[in-house]
Amino acid sequence: MKTGSLSQERKKNLRLFLRRMTARKIVLFGLIGTLFFVILALFAPLIATADPNEMAMLDKLADPSSAHWFGTDMYGRDIFSRVVYGAQVSLIIGVTSVLLASIVGCFLGMLAAYNGGIIDTLLMRFCDAFCAIPQIAITTALVSLYGRSVASMACIMGISTMPGFIRMMRASSLSTISSEYILSSKLLGEHPLKILIKHVLPNSISPIIIMATQTIGITIMMESGLSFLGIGITVPTASWGTMVNEARPFLLTHPLYAGAPCICIALLIISLNLLGDGIRDALDPTLRGAK
Protein backbone atom coordinates (compact mmCIF):
# COMPACT_ATOMS: atom_id res chain seq x y z
CA MET A 1 0.00 0.00 0.00
CA LYS A 2 2.80 2.38 0.81
CA THR A 3 4.45 1.73 -2.54
CA GLY A 4 1.16 2.30 -4.37
CA SER A 5 0.49 5.49 -2.45
CA LEU A 6 3.98 6.75 -3.22
CA SER A 7 3.50 5.99 -6.91
CA GLN A 8 0.18 7.83 -6.97
CA GLU A 9 1.74 10.81 -5.22
CA ARG A 10 4.55 10.96 -7.77
CA LYS A 11 2.08 10.84 -10.65
CA LYS A 12 0.06 13.61 -9.04
CA ASN A 13 3.18 15.77 -8.58
CA LEU A 14 4.21 15.13 -12.18
CA ARG A 15 0.80 16.19 -13.49
CA LEU A 16 0.90 19.30 -11.32
CA PHE A 17 4.40 20.12 -12.57
CA LEU A 18 3.37 19.74 -16.23
CA ARG A 19 0.21 21.82 -15.71
CA ARG A 20 2.17 24.63 -14.12
CA MET A 21 4.90 24.44 -16.74
CA THR A 22 2.46 24.71 -19.65
CA ALA A 23 0.16 27.28 -18.00
CA ARG A 24 1.48 29.81 -20.50
CA LYS A 25 0.82 28.43 -23.97
CA ILE A 26 3.99 29.94 -25.41
CA VAL A 27 5.96 27.49 -23.26
CA LEU A 28 4.51 24.70 -25.42
CA PHE A 29 6.36 26.25 -28.36
CA GLY A 30 9.57 26.00 -26.38
CA LEU A 31 8.89 22.40 -25.41
CA ILE A 32 7.98 21.35 -28.96
CA GLY A 33 10.95 23.22 -30.43
CA THR A 34 13.38 21.65 -27.98
CA LEU A 35 12.00 18.15 -28.60
CA PHE A 36 12.25 18.74 -32.36
CA PHE A 37 15.97 19.53 -32.17
CA VAL A 38 16.61 16.68 -29.72
CA ILE A 39 14.97 14.24 -32.15
CA LEU A 40 16.95 15.79 -35.00
CA ALA A 41 20.18 15.22 -33.09
CA LEU A 42 19.37 11.70 -31.89
CA PHE A 43 18.30 10.43 -35.29
CA ALA A 44 20.69 12.48 -37.44
CA PRO A 45 22.03 9.43 -39.34
CA LEU A 46 18.47 8.47 -40.30
CA ILE A 47 17.23 11.98 -41.11
CA ALA A 48 20.23 13.25 -43.08
CA THR A 49 19.95 12.63 -46.81
CA ALA A 50 23.71 12.40 -47.41
CA ASP A 51 27.09 12.21 -45.73
CA PRO A 52 27.59 15.71 -44.25
CA ASN A 53 31.33 15.70 -45.04
CA GLU A 54 31.16 14.18 -48.54
CA MET A 55 32.49 16.68 -51.10
CA ALA A 56 31.34 16.91 -54.71
CA MET A 57 33.10 19.85 -56.29
CA LEU A 58 31.14 19.46 -59.52
CA ASP A 59 27.94 20.16 -57.56
CA LYS A 60 29.19 23.05 -55.44
CA LEU A 61 26.73 25.85 -54.65
CA ALA A 62 23.87 23.92 -56.25
CA ASP A 63 20.35 25.27 -55.80
CA PRO A 64 17.79 23.40 -53.67
CA SER A 65 16.50 20.26 -55.38
CA SER A 66 15.07 16.82 -54.61
CA ALA A 67 18.63 15.51 -54.20
CA HIS A 68 19.79 18.43 -52.03
CA TRP A 69 16.86 19.98 -50.17
CA PHE A 70 18.78 23.09 -49.07
CA GLY A 71 21.30 23.01 -51.92
CA THR A 72 25.05 22.44 -51.50
CA ASP A 73 27.87 24.51 -50.03
CA MET A 74 31.12 25.79 -51.52
CA TYR A 75 32.60 22.27 -51.36
CA GLY A 76 29.58 20.49 -52.75
CA ARG A 77 28.46 19.14 -49.37
CA ASP A 78 24.75 18.73 -48.69
CA ILE A 79 23.58 21.72 -46.59
CA PHE A 80 20.52 19.95 -45.15
CA SER A 81 22.64 17.06 -43.86
CA ARG A 82 25.16 19.43 -42.34
CA VAL A 83 22.38 21.36 -40.59
CA VAL A 84 21.02 18.10 -39.15
CA TYR A 85 24.44 17.00 -37.87
CA GLY A 86 25.07 20.54 -36.66
CA ALA A 87 22.13 20.10 -34.26
CA GLN A 88 23.85 17.00 -32.89
CA VAL A 89 27.12 18.86 -32.31
CA SER A 90 25.42 21.86 -30.69
CA LEU A 91 23.29 19.79 -28.30
CA ILE A 92 26.17 17.47 -27.35
CA ILE A 93 28.32 20.47 -26.44
CA GLY A 94 25.49 22.38 -24.77
CA VAL A 95 24.12 19.52 -22.67
CA THR A 96 27.48 17.94 -21.78
CA SER A 97 29.07 21.22 -20.74
CA VAL A 98 26.10 22.20 -18.57
CA LEU A 99 25.99 18.76 -16.95
CA LEU A 100 29.69 19.06 -16.12
CA ALA A 101 29.30 22.61 -14.81
CA SER A 102 26.18 21.82 -12.76
CA ILE A 103 27.47 18.59 -11.18
CA VAL A 104 30.83 20.02 -10.14
CA GLY A 105 29.32 23.43 -9.37
CA CYS A 106 26.62 21.90 -7.12
CA PHE A 107 29.18 19.93 -5.14
CA LEU A 108 31.52 22.89 -4.66
CA GLY A 109 28.65 25.27 -3.89
CA MET A 110 27.25 22.96 -1.22
CA LEU A 111 30.75 22.43 0.17
CA ALA A 112 31.28 26.18 0.48
CA ALA A 113 27.91 26.72 2.16
CA TYR A 114 28.27 23.75 4.53
CA ASN A 115 31.83 24.39 5.70
CA GLY A 116 32.02 28.19 5.51
CA GLY A 117 35.26 29.69 6.74
CA ILE A 118 38.38 29.51 4.61
CA ILE A 119 36.89 27.04 2.09
CA ASP A 120 33.93 29.32 1.43
CA THR A 121 36.18 32.39 1.16
CA LEU A 122 38.63 30.75 -1.25
CA LEU A 123 35.90 29.36 -3.52
CA MET A 124 34.02 32.66 -3.66
CA ARG A 125 37.18 34.64 -4.39
CA PHE A 126 38.01 32.16 -7.15
CA CYS A 127 34.53 32.66 -8.64
CA ASP A 128 34.86 36.44 -8.37
CA ALA A 129 38.21 36.39 -10.16
CA PHE A 130 36.88 34.02 -12.83
CA CYS A 131 33.75 36.11 -13.43
CA ALA A 132 35.82 39.29 -13.70
CA ILE A 133 37.37 37.97 -16.92
CA PRO A 134 35.11 37.98 -20.01
CA GLN A 135 33.89 34.46 -20.73
CA ILE A 136 34.88 34.71 -24.38
CA ALA A 137 38.48 35.46 -23.35
CA ILE A 138 38.62 32.47 -20.99
CA THR A 139 37.11 30.17 -23.60
CA THR A 140 39.46 31.36 -26.34
CA ALA A 141 42.50 30.83 -24.12
CA LEU A 142 41.40 27.32 -23.15
CA VAL A 143 40.63 26.42 -26.77
CA SER A 144 44.16 27.41 -27.80
CA LEU A 145 45.55 25.11 -25.09
CA TYR A 146 43.32 22.05 -25.35
CA GLY A 147 42.15 21.92 -28.95
CA ARG A 148 38.86 22.27 -30.77
CA SER A 149 37.33 18.79 -30.80
CA VAL A 150 33.74 18.30 -29.66
CA ALA A 151 34.90 16.75 -26.36
CA SER A 152 37.37 19.57 -25.71
CA MET A 153 34.80 22.24 -26.49
CA ALA A 154 32.27 20.62 -24.14
CA CYS A 155 34.79 20.54 -21.27
CA ILE A 156 35.96 24.10 -21.97
CA MET A 157 32.40 25.44 -22.03
CA GLY A 158 31.67 23.58 -18.81
CA ILE A 159 34.68 25.10 -17.06
CA SER A 160 33.82 28.61 -18.26
CA THR A 161 30.24 28.41 -16.92
CA MET A 162 31.02 26.55 -13.69
CA PRO A 163 31.53 29.61 -11.38
CA GLY A 164 27.93 30.69 -11.95
CA PHE A 165 26.65 27.30 -10.78
CA ILE A 166 28.94 27.38 -7.72
CA ARG A 167 27.60 30.76 -6.64
CA MET A 168 23.98 29.80 -7.32
CA MET A 169 24.21 26.54 -5.42
CA ARG A 170 25.96 28.19 -2.47
CA ALA A 171 23.24 30.84 -2.24
CA SER A 172 20.49 28.23 -2.55
CA SER A 173 22.08 25.93 0.06
CA LEU A 174 22.68 28.50 2.79
CA SER A 175 19.06 28.69 3.94
CA THR A 176 18.67 24.91 3.81
CA ILE A 177 21.85 24.27 5.82
CA SER A 178 20.69 26.63 8.60
CA SER A 179 17.38 24.78 9.02
CA GLU A 180 16.62 22.73 12.13
CA TYR A 181 16.55 19.30 10.50
CA ILE A 182 20.08 19.82 9.12
CA LEU A 183 21.28 20.82 12.59
CA SER A 184 19.61 17.69 13.96
CA SER A 185 21.37 15.53 11.39
CA LYS A 186 24.71 17.05 12.41
CA LEU A 187 24.02 16.38 16.09
CA LEU A 188 23.08 12.79 15.31
CA GLY A 189 26.50 12.33 13.74
CA GLU A 190 25.47 11.83 10.10
CA HIS A 191 28.33 12.02 7.63
CA PRO A 192 28.55 15.47 5.97
CA LEU A 193 28.44 13.93 2.47
CA LYS A 194 25.23 12.08 3.35
CA ILE A 195 23.70 15.29 4.70
CA LEU A 196 24.59 17.15 1.51
CA ILE A 197 23.24 14.50 -0.85
CA LYS A 198 20.19 13.41 1.15
CA HIS A 199 18.98 16.69 2.58
CA VAL A 200 20.68 19.76 1.09
CA LEU A 201 20.74 18.82 -2.60
CA PRO A 202 17.03 17.92 -3.05
CA ASN A 203 15.94 21.11 -1.27
CA SER A 204 18.33 23.43 -3.14
CA ILE A 205 18.32 22.04 -6.69
CA SER A 206 15.38 24.00 -8.19
CA PRO A 207 17.36 27.16 -9.11
CA ILE A 208 20.10 24.97 -10.61
CA ILE A 209 17.60 23.19 -12.89
CA ILE A 210 16.28 26.52 -14.14
CA MET A 211 19.78 27.93 -14.60
CA ALA A 212 20.95 24.79 -16.41
CA THR A 213 18.11 24.93 -18.94
CA GLN A 214 18.87 28.54 -19.82
CA THR A 215 22.66 28.05 -19.80
CA ILE A 216 22.41 25.35 -22.48
CA GLY A 217 21.15 28.00 -24.91
CA ILE A 218 23.92 30.43 -23.92
CA THR A 219 26.55 27.71 -24.39
CA ILE A 220 25.21 26.77 -27.84
CA MET A 221 25.26 30.43 -28.86
CA MET A 222 28.84 30.81 -27.63
CA GLU A 223 30.00 27.67 -29.45
CA SER A 224 28.39 28.91 -32.65
CA GLY A 225 30.05 32.29 -32.18
CA LEU A 226 33.48 30.73 -31.69
CA SER A 227 32.98 28.51 -34.74
CA PHE A 228 31.93 31.56 -36.74
CA LEU A 229 35.17 33.28 -35.74
CA GLY A 230 37.16 30.21 -36.79
CA ILE A 231 38.25 29.18 -33.29
CA GLY A 232 35.48 26.70 -32.56
CA ILE A 233 34.84 23.19 -33.85
CA THR A 234 37.47 22.01 -36.32
CA VAL A 235 36.46 21.45 -39.92
CA PRO A 236 35.07 19.39 -41.56
CA THR A 237 32.86 18.60 -38.53
CA ALA A 238 29.42 20.09 -39.18
CA SER A 239 28.81 23.13 -36.98
CA TRP A 240 26.20 25.83 -37.45
CA GLY A 241 28.68 28.60 -36.66
CA THR A 242 31.23 27.27 -39.16
CA MET A 243 28.52 27.03 -41.83
CA VAL A 244 27.55 30.68 -41.32
CA ASN A 245 31.20 31.72 -41.54
CA GLU A 246 31.69 29.81 -44.80
CA ALA A 247 28.48 31.25 -46.26
CA ARG A 248 29.34 34.95 -45.78
CA PRO A 249 30.42 35.54 -49.41
CA PHE A 250 27.21 33.92 -50.69
CA LEU A 251 24.55 35.64 -48.57
CA LEU A 252 22.75 37.17 -51.55
CA THR A 253 23.19 34.41 -54.11
CA HIS A 254 22.59 31.40 -51.83
CA PRO A 255 20.55 32.61 -48.80
CA LEU A 256 19.82 29.09 -47.48
CA TYR A 257 23.56 28.45 -47.07
CA ALA A 258 23.72 30.85 -44.11
CA GLY A 259 19.98 31.17 -43.47
CA ALA A 260 19.33 27.55 -42.48
CA PRO A 261 21.91 27.36 -39.67
CA CYS A 262 21.07 30.89 -38.49
CA ILE A 263 17.37 30.03 -38.20
CA CYS A 264 18.22 26.80 -36.36
CA ILE A 265 20.43 28.64 -33.86
CA ALA A 266 17.73 31.21 -33.20
CA LEU A 267 14.89 28.67 -32.87
CA LEU A 268 16.84 26.36 -30.57
CA ILE A 269 17.93 29.17 -28.22
CA ILE A 270 14.42 30.67 -28.12
CA SER A 271 12.93 27.22 -27.44
CA LEU A 272 15.37 26.53 -24.62
CA ASN A 273 14.74 29.92 -23.01
CA LEU A 274 10.95 29.46 -23.18
CA LEU A 275 11.30 25.96 -21.74
CA GLY A 276 13.46 27.37 -18.94
CA ASP A 277 10.77 29.95 -18.17
CA GLY A 278 8.16 27.19 -18.01
CA ILE A 279 10.28 25.09 -15.65
CA ARG A 280 10.84 28.17 -13.48
CA ASP A 281 7.09 28.76 -13.26
CA ALA A 282 6.49 25.10 -12.40
CA LEU A 283 9.13 24.95 -9.67
CA ASP A 284 8.12 28.25 -8.05
CA PRO A 285 4.32 28.54 -7.77
CA THR A 286 4.61 32.15 -6.60
CA LEU A 287 5.86 33.20 -10.04
CA ARG A 288 3.73 34.26 -12.96
CA GLY A 289 2.10 31.44 -14.87
CA ALA A 290 1.78 28.97 -11.97
CA LYS A 291 -1.84 28.05 -11.59
Q: What is the pLDDT of residues 104-163, one digit of tens each?
A: 999 998 888 888 888 888 888 888 888 888 878 888 888 888 877 888 888 888 888 899
Query: Is residue 99 scored above 90 in pLDDT?
Result: yes
User: When comparing pLDDT for 216 and 291, which is higher?
Assistant: 216
- What's the rounded Cα separation, in Å, for the pair 253 and 258? 11
pLDDT at 237: 81
**Average pLDDT, integer, range 161-171:** 90
User: When comparing pLDDT for 14 and 50, which is higher?
Assistant: 50
Phi-psi group of 61: left, alpha or beta (phi > 0 → left; psi -120 to 50 → alpha; rest → beta): left
pLDDT at 64: 85
**Average pLDDT, integer, range 187-199:** 79
* Among 46-60, 86-100, 220-234, the range of highest mean pLDDT: 86-100
- CB-CB contact of 284 with 206 (8 Å): yes
pLDDT at 210: 83
pLDDT at 101: 92
User: Nearest 5°: CA angle at 97, between 168 and 247?
Assistant: 125
**Of 25-34, 38-47, 233-242, 279-288, the least confident:** 279-288
Q: Closest by alpha carbon to 71, among 225, 227, 253?
A: 253
User: When comparing pLDDT for 4 and 245, which is higher?
Assistant: 245
pLDDT at 290: 40
pLDDT at 4: 54
Confidence at 245, pLDDT banded by 50, 70, 90: confident
Residues 6+ apart with CB under 8 A from 277: 24, 27, 30, 289
* Among 93-102, 109-118, 183-192, 228-237, the range of highest mean pLDDT: 93-102
Query: Is residue 185 scored above 90 in pLDDT?
Result: no
pLDDT at 285: 54
Mean of per-residue pLDDT scores for the chain: 83
pLDDT at 35: 92
